[in-house]
């Protein structure tokens, strides 16, 4: 089952570990949803999603504190023994000694954050949503061109890496070469990134592996980027008719999300970097409400109407 390691969550979100004696090496989070256990602390355990991260904020904490010591011990033990992955205390709240003893007894890691409950919940849901998003790996190159995530695909050896290198020299940023990991973070957004082992590297046939970050500086690379446009490089086929106007968008689907896709025929002498730049800017312009193909069509129709 796919999951996020608790230790990684603790490090990424700067959580203070209040139960260092608990071994967290094999503990993972399997859902991006979280829970504030108000009803559970009140005794209602039906429909309790105990696989979620549990967050105790100021309201839940003060509710426990107004109980007698015996009642609080019984209530918290009933909650902490429900096989939950972890508990996080937020908004400057701190677990009492008896709470920590119960956490160690039932091996439930307990963390503390100084952040307010609402802001921390939003950040935690966003972070878990990205880490646990459905993910696929595809063969291609992902580049940030003028803020647009351009995914360049095509057969091996067709020139994807060379085009990416030229784009980098023109001031754009590399996200991933050869293998791109795509994560579906929402129904409209795919985020691409590089595998850890190949991050910031490009393979050039005849030269070998180059480190883009070292050669061109940190401004030439980026760790993640939303995919806005796909450019598919193809060998030129003289018998095929290619789109010359762009009135109708073509799409490609990844993980159920549709992304605009352009098929780009390759011939000697074509400057791929300039074409990719133009495609990215044109796509950005369309998102802002202006379509050059539609404007040309409108002018032609007006010219025909005047002649009539």
User: Of 8, 36, 178, 284, which residue is the catalytic one?
Assistant: 178
Active site residue 139: yes
Contact 301, 194 (CB under 8 A): no
Tally of CB atoms within 10 A around 191: 20
Residues in the chain: 308
294 assigned ligand-binding residue: no
DSSP SS3 for 167: helix
Task: Return phi, psi of residue 14, to 5°.
Answer: 55, 50
| First-to-last C-alpha distance (Å) of the chain | 68
Sequence-distant (≥ 6) Cβ neighbours of residue 209 within 8 angstroms: 201, 202, 203
Residues 179, 201: Cα–Cα separation, whole Å: 11
DSSP SS3 for 61: helix
Residue 84 burial by Cβ neighbours in a 10 Å radius (0-12, 13-18, 19+): buried
Residues 172, 150: Cα–Cα separation, whole Å: 11
154 assigned ligand-binding residue: yes
203 assigned ligand-binding residue: yes
156 assigned ligand-binding residue: yes
Active site residue 178: yes
Active site residue 169: no
User: Of 47, 238, 240, 244, which residue is the catalytic one?
Assistant: 244
Residues 164, 302: Cα–Cα separation, whole Å: 41
Q: How far is CA 61 from CA 44, 51, 96, 99, 103, in A?
A: 17, 21, 10, 11, 15
Residues 58, 41: Cα–Cα separation, whole Å: 13
User: Of 83, 126, 139, 298, which residue is the catalytic one?
Assistant: 139
208 assigned ligand-binding residue: no
137 assigned ligand-binding residue: no
161 assigned ligand-binding residue: yes
160 assigned ligand-binding residue: yes
Active site residue 283: no
User: Of 160, 173, 184, 200, which residue is the catalytic one?
Assistant: 160
Binding site for ATP: residue ranges? 154-161
Residues carrying an active site annotation: 139, 160, 178, 244
Show binding-site residues.
154-161, 203
Binding positions for Mg(2+) are: 161, 203
């Amino acid at each position: 089952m796919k999951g996020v390691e608790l230790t990684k969550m603790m490090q990424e979100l700067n959580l203070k570990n209040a139960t260092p004696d608990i071994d967290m090496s094999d503990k993972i989070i399997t859902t991006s949803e979280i829970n504030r256990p108000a009803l559970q602390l009140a005794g209602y355990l039906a429909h309790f999603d105990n696989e979620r991260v549990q967050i105790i904020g100021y309201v839940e904490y003060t509710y426990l504190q107004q109980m007698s010591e015996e009642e609080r011990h019984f209530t918290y033990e009933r909650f902490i023994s429900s096989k939950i992955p972890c508990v996080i205390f937020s908004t400057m709240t701190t677990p009492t000694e008896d709470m920590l003893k119960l956490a160690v007894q039932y091996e439930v890691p307990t963390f503390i954050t100084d952040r307010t409950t609402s802001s921390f919940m939003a950040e935690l849901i966003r972070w878990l949503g990205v880490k646990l998003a459905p993910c696929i790996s595809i063969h291609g190159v992902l580049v940030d061109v003028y803020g647009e995530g351009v995914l360049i695909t095509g057969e091996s050896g067709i020139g994807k890496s060379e085009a990416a290198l030229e784009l980098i020299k023109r001031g754009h940023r590399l996200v991933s070469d050869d293998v791109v990991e795509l994560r579906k973070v929402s129904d409209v957004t795919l985020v691409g990134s590089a595998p850890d082992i190949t991050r910031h590297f490009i393979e050039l046939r005849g030269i070998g592996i180059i480190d883009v970050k070292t050669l061109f500086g940190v401004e030439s690379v980026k760790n993640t980027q939303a995919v806005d446009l796909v450019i598919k490089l193809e060998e030129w086929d003289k018998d095929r008719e290619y789109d010359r106007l762009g009135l109708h968008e073509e799409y490609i689907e990844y993980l159920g999300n549709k992304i605009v896709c352009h098929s780009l025929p390759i011939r000697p002498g074509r400057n791929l970097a300039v074409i990719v730049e133009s495609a990215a800017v044109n796509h950005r312009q369309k998102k802002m409400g202006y379509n050059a193909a539609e404007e040309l069509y409108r002018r032609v129709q007006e010219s025909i109407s005047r002649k009539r």
